[in-house]
Amino acid sequence: MKTIIEPFRIKMTEPIKLTSKSERIAALKKAHNNIFLVDAEDCCIDLLTDSGTGAMSTKQWAAMMLGDESYAGSRSWKKFESTIHNITNIKHVFPTHQGRAAESILATTRLKPGDMVPNNSHFDTTRANIEFVGAGAVDLLTDAGLDPALEVPFKGNMDLRKLENFIEETGVEKIPFCMITVTNNTGGGQPVAMENIRAVKEILKKYGIPLVIDACRFAENAYFIHENEAGYENKSLLEIAREMFAYADAATMSCKKDGLANIGGFFICNNDAWAEDFKNLLILKEGFPTYGGLAGRDLEVISVGLMEALEYDYQVYRHATVTYMGEKLEAMGIPFVKPVGGHAVFLDAKAFLPDIPALQYPGVGLVNALYIEGGIRGVELGSVMFGKRDENGVEIPANLDLVRLAFPRRVYTQSHFDYMIEVIEEVWKNREEISGYKITYQPKFLRHFTCHFEQVN
């Protein structure tokens, strides 16, 4: 088989500032050793997130010029609505400025204190929006999905028995809806099988509970189904996506992922009463229902992007970049979460740096070493981000200390990937020189964004 090439060529370039090691050491020091506080310009390869960081196609840039900025009922809105109808066949469509705005309005209109919302794994904004209105967010992932070393497909699946038990114990009246996140971002970008979505829907139907899909990476999930689930190899990604949405009563979406756009989101639903409530709050918080917090040109860009994300050759290339890195890491014996996800590779910092105690944050040690060695910006998903405190205020480390390398869409080429692999290899070879960190300043909430670190020797 020949090399899978990027199915695009480059018409416009954006320079990367190449920095020296000493410049990076200085930049990190200035940022109090917290990678979030480093300027983007000082990161050669920025893998902080795949959200809103993708490159647009010529068709998307051209579509921007067609943006109809009329306040109500614009041409761009019509295109947006018909594109989403075409993919999902769901009746009511509401644009929002991001995924979390859709989540917030959904939670506010449908949940009351004491309600519970199950999901395979809630994304952090989804959980926060549910908890903000006094309801509870519960993760019901399969045990396989919780094991980072187990190499099986569809580790994003919901555990059907846990779901049924949860409904029986909680009571239908306390569960206004159930969610399923495709792919499962919090669980490593792992996909959900069509069989699982169908089975979840069957259980929910029995109890009369609506299913809401968190659809941020619906096209990547469709690709995994095409590749790994029997019966789907001859279907198009669009056909697969349509079947996924056929089981849904509603969906929330961040177009910053598989919308291939830099901003945007939407909410869709079939229920007229849900739509009426959503619409009223949308007008209050986001905008008139035919633009909902987006410019006409954004609606155009998203309409093109959603269809481009469903192009098979694009997904083949996208997945090849992630697996390419996974194969190289495997060959070097570097520990990472298996199989690789749809949008990211997760290095296992605890196994990478076994001598650094959990409360000296091996994930931060690894993130900072990758930055100093090659200007790569990854993100710690471990004890700094998810650590808790017991009743005496003693810090409890997270179960896993991971470093996520998330890949922006259509941005980096194979030589960038080769470079990243070389940097990781160099860090791996010199891993004994990496030290842990202690926190010298932290805010009350979401400390990972702004806390300060100091090396411990």
Reduced to 3 states (helix: H, G, I; strand: E, B; else coil), residue 4 is coil
Cβ proximity of 73 and 222 under 8 Å = no
In total, the chain counts a number of residues equal to 457
Query: In this complex, which beta carbon is closest to ligand PLP, that of residue 81 or of residue 214?
Result: 214
117 lies in the binding site for ligand PLP (CB under 6 A) = no
Q: Rounded to whole angstroms, how far apart are CA atoms 181 and 193?
A: 11
DSSP string, 283-331: HHHT--TTTTT--HHHHHHHHHHHHHHT-HHHHHHHHHHHHHHHHHHHH
254 lies in the binding site for ligand PLP (CB under 6 A) = yes
Q: What's the burial of 43, exposed, middle or buried (CB within 10 Å: 0-12/13-18/19+)? A: buried
Residue 407 β-bridge partners: none
Options 181, 221, 262, 383; binder of ligand PLP; rule CB under 6 A: 181
80 lies in the binding site for ligand PLP (CB under 6 A) = no
338 lies in the binding site for ligand PLP (CB under 6 A) = no
Structure tokens at 220: 């990547």
Structure tokens at 446: 């979401």
Residue number of the CB closest to ligand PLP reads 99
Query: In this complex, which beta carbon is closest to ligand PLP, that of residue 262 or of residue 368?
Result: 262
262 lies in the binding site for ligand PLP (CB under 6 A) = no
Query: In this complex, which beta carbon is closest to ligand PLP, that of residue 214 or of residue 348?
Result: 214
121 lies in the binding site for ligand PLP (CB under 6 A) = no
265 lies in the binding site for ligand PLP (CB under 6 A) = yes
The least distance separating ligand PLP from the CB of residue 122, rounded to whole angstroms, comes to 8
159 lies in the binding site for ligand PLP (CB under 6 A) = no
Residue 217 β-bridge partners: none
Q: Which stretch binds ligand PLP (CB under 6 A): 59-67, 254-262, 309-317, 353-361?
A: 254-262
Options 33, 88, 157, 185; binder of ligand PLP; rule CB under 6 A: 185
290 lies in the binding site for ligand PLP (CB under 6 A) = no
Q: Rounded to whole angstroms, how far apart are CA atoms 254 and 98?
A: 6
Structure tokens at 285: 């918080």
Cβ proximity of 420 and 374 under 8 Å = yes
346 lies in the binding site for ligand PLP (CB under 6 A) = no
The least distance separating ligand PLP from the CB of residue 266, rounded to whole angstroms, comes to 10
Structure tokens at 16: 């990367």
Q: What's the burial of 320, exposed, middle or buried (CB within 10 Å: 0-12/13-18/19+)? A: middle
The least distance separating ligand PLP from the CB of residue 410, rounded to whole angstroms, comes to 18
33 lies in the binding site for ligand PLP (CB under 6 A) = no
98 lies in the binding site for ligand PLP (CB under 6 A) = yes
Q: Rounded to whole angstroms, how far apart are CA atoms 291 and 411?
A: 28
Contacting residues toward ligand PLP, per CB under 6 A: 51, 98-100, 123, 125-126, 181, 185, 214, 216, 254, 256-257, 265
